[in-house]
Amino acid sequence: MRWNKALNFLLIIFICLNIALAWINYNRFNESYKVSEERIQTIKGILADRNIQVKADLPTLFIPRSSIWIESIEISASLRDAIVNRLFGKERADVTITNEVSGDYGKNALIYSKGEARLEFYKDHIGYRNEAAKSKETAVSIKQASKFAKDFIRQLDLADHLKEVKIDYRSESYGIAVTYYEVYRGLPIFDSYVKMKISPNGVFEAEVRCLEVTDKVSLTKPLYPIDQVLFALQKPKVENETYVIESVELGYRLDHSEGMHILSEEAVPVYKITIEGLSDPIFVNAYTNTYEEILFISQV
């Protein structure tokens, strides 16, 4: 009996030691792929000399990651009908249907209109506009915007495609922009989203694109640390004197900018950099430290 107790005690000690060793090794691994505070302050100083101010919390971990394979969730007829019924009513009263040869995405669009609202269905996108929800007033709180966004997501019935999300809020001239990004293994997928423009009257414009991860590449590759990425950032060619980096985030994005053309495509780790006063963020390939070709960016 005493031997069994001693054996159990030794077993508990052995397990605790292994857990402690695993934790120490995990921390050592992370520390080897972590940008130090000294390096962060150094790059902020370099950028300040270029009149670029950093207000964002910078991602300091650059642990090697694999790319992933993703494909679009096709907008089927049944899904389309269900969305129209929820937003415009099952009776379809006063609903008109038209075809648009050249839509927002260079593809055919099936458009359902009711009053000042319209739903635009593409093969893998959904667009929504409601002129009646626009407002001259712009004062809308984050709490109000969050409620409007949740209600809109509920109406679209996209919960199954957005089980884990990251939500971004951004103040705009019309109110607040709210974006839901699908998350995979802790990182947002920047091509899988619900983007909403919200006024005090609710959602007046939205864009939906849902993707699903079909596979991941087994081979991991090293990522560039954030200080090296920002060192390559030059002064944007716009008419302000000081430029402010509002946010920097690591996530996944398709390895080209034209959209998806085949069944499944590769998405790679990228840094998304948002600069105050610029309507579109900058994306940097975290494997290669190459910027997209954008007019207001020049590379070192």
User: Residue 207 belongs to what H/E stretch?
Assistant: strand 202-209
129 in a structural domain: yes
Which residue among 159, 180, 215 closes a domain? 215
23 in a structural domain: no
Are residues 188 and 276 both part of a single domain?
no
Give the domain extent around 41. 34-67+217-291
User: Looking at residue 19, what is its pLDDT?
Assistant: 60
Residue 74: phi and psi, rounded to 5, are: -70, 140
Residue 137: phi and psi, rounded to 5, are: -75, 145
Are residues 196 and 237 both part of a single domain?
no
Are residues 155 and 268 both part of a single domain?
no
Are residues 38 and 172 both part of a single domain?
no
- DSSP state, 131? G
Are residues 129 and 166 both part of a single domain?
yes
Domain count, the chain: 2
Percent of the residues in the chain that have a pLDDT greater than 70, as a whole number = 78
298 in a structural domain: no
CATH of the domain at 49: 2.40.128
The type of residue at 152 is F
Are residues 80 and 171 both part of a single domain?
yes
**What's the whole-model pTM score?**
0.81
**Contacts (Cβ under 8 Å, ≥6 apart) of 299:** 232, 234, 290, 291
Are residues 142 and 265 both part of a single domain?
no
Q: Checking DSSP bridges between strand 282-285 and strand 265-275, what pairing results, if any?
A: antiparallel
Q: Which of 10, 240, 210 is nearest to 124 (CA)?
A: 210
Say how far apart CA 264 and CA 216 lie, in whole Å: 11
> pLDDT grade, residue 299 (50/70/90)?
very low
Are residues 207 and 83 both part of a single domain?
yes
User: Looking at residue 182, what is its pLDDT?
Assistant: 93
Are residues 103 and 195 both part of a single domain?
yes
Are residues 45 and 109 both part of a single domain?
no
State how far Cα 65 lies from the chain centre.
Answer: 17
44 in a structural domain: yes
pLDDT tens, position by position, 36-67 = 999 999 999 999 988 889 999 999 998 999 99
Are residues 50 and 112 both part of a single domain?
no
Which residue among 170, 187, 215 closes a domain? 215
Q: What is the mean pLDDT of the chain?
A: 82
pLDDT tens, position by position, 201-256 = 999 999 999 888 887 777 899 999 999 999 988 655 555 578 899 999 999 998 76
Are residues 158 and 183 both part of a single domain?
yes
